[in-house]
Amino acid sequence: MEKTHLTGLTRAELVEFAERQGEPGWRGKQLFKQIQARRLFSFDEMTDLPKKFRQALREIAVISTLKVESRFVSTDGTRRYLMKTQDGFPVETVFIPSENRDTICFSSQSGCPLKCDFCLTAKLGLLRSLSAGEIVEQILIVLNDVYGVGNETPHGTNLVGMGAGEPFLNFENLVKAIEIICDKEGLSIVPNRITISTAGIVPKIYEFAELKIRPHLAISLSAPTDELRNRLMPINRRWNIETLMQAASFFHEKMRPREKLTFEYVLLKGVNDSENQALELARLLRKYRLKRVKVNLIPHNTAEELDYTPSDETKIERFKAVLESHGIPAYIRRPRGRDIYAACGQLAAKASVSAVSKKLETI
């Protein structure tokens, strides 16, 4: 019999689980706290649970299913984790430290079915979607590694769903993982500290906008015209820019006060980084009267497997200036650790450990 992965159960589900084992429901709440707040991965450490129950749990349940295969630490403190699921699929997670607030970038799928032309993960294709438990576990593993088991995070944590995969193609598990992560008796991360990035799965943007526990949204755009976006992000052939912007407008209407909608734009030398294209992007955002938006400009990282090179520094600055001159806040997202790739997860799970390690050593 397959063991139940407790990390992917909500507090309410753990109450039911405990009751099914003949225990009072509050034992389930206790279990939830031990896993999600204390971040314990071993039943033996849960000494406030009766020994008999802990023994039974060992037979029927499991807390941790991901195995960290490799961990790389960049000189700027960025940590990259290559993990494996129990059935052998690669999962990547990145920790990015910062003075004010650390960020964990998690994956929603192993590989990705979308074929963004500038993305290494795309080369893998979809291996499989991750379960809610596998999404949550990535965060628990990183927090324990960086701060020590159960220790407080010194200045809170931001989460970004920009790792490998398209989160909105794994919507149900993503939403469940968010519920678990935001639970006040667990990790207690507020939705305002979480950003989910989509390449433009339009129907799910509408659904996401209506969620009760809703993180921020980032839309990976990377081109101001359909002609170019069809080429760079083939998902555009299914939902073109107009359809995408209508969904963005709907989301914009539903936003909380002071919330901002982010557009991510990967800058590719000679492809989408001209002044004229910056102007087209500004006009596009203005056309839909999106007032509370910001644009993250992401200089592309080169990789042997990809036919693109990063834009020149002057071009990047000029692109930013054009957007700003049209009243659109724009930020250049400097790559951290250089192993981390842009917008919605350009992680290359297939990258051999030695290749990644070599990259990090040279920083």
Whether 344 is catalytic is yes
Nearer to ligand SF4 (CB atom), residue 64 or residue 222:
222
The reply on whether position 199 binds ligand SF4 by CB under 6 A is yes
Residue by residue, DSSP assigns 78-103 as -EEEEEE-TTS-EEEEEEE--SS-EE
Q: How buried is residue 77: exposed, middle or buried, by Cβ count under 10 Å (0-12/13-18/19+)? A: middle
* Whole-Å CA distances, 34 to 50, 175, 184: 13, 22, 13
Q: Measured from the CB of residue 363, what is the shortest distance to ligand SF4 in angstroms?
A: 23
CB of residue 113 to ligand SF4, shortest distance in Å:
7
281-300 exposure pattern, b = at least 16 Cβ within 10 A, e = fewer: bbebbeeeebeebebbbbbb
> Binding of ligand SF4 at residue 121 (CB under 6 A)?
yes
- Report the distance separating Cα 325 and Cα 67, nearest Å: 48
DSSP 239: S
Which of the following is catalytic: 92, 134, 137, 179? 92
Q: Within 13 Å and on the Cβ side, how many CA atoms surround 311?
A: 23
- Site mask for ligand SF4 (CB under 6 A), range 149-168, x = bound: ---------------xxx--
Region from 141-149, 282-290, 292-300, 340-348 binding ligand SF4, contact rule CB under 6 A: 340-348
Among 104, 114, 293, 322, binds ligand SF4 (CB under 6 A): 114
User: In angstroms, how far is CA 35 from the centroid of its own chain?
Assistant: 21
- Select 114 or 285, whichever has its Cβ closest to ligand SF4: 114
Provide the terminal-to-terminal Cα distance of the chain, rounded to the nearest Å. Answer: 47
CB of 154 to ligand SF4, least distance (A): 30
**Which region among 116-124, 289-297, 312-320, 355-363 touches ligand SF4 (by CB under 6 A)?**
116-124
Query: Total number of residues binding ligand SF4 (CB under 6 A)?
Result: 14
Q: Which of residues 29-88 bind ligand SF4 (CB under 6 A)?
A: none
Distance in angstroms (rounded) separating the CA atoms of residues 164 and 156: 23
Binding site for ligand SF4 (CB under 6 A): 112, 114, 116, 119, 121-122, 164-166, 199, 343-346
> Which residues are the active-site residues?
92, 344
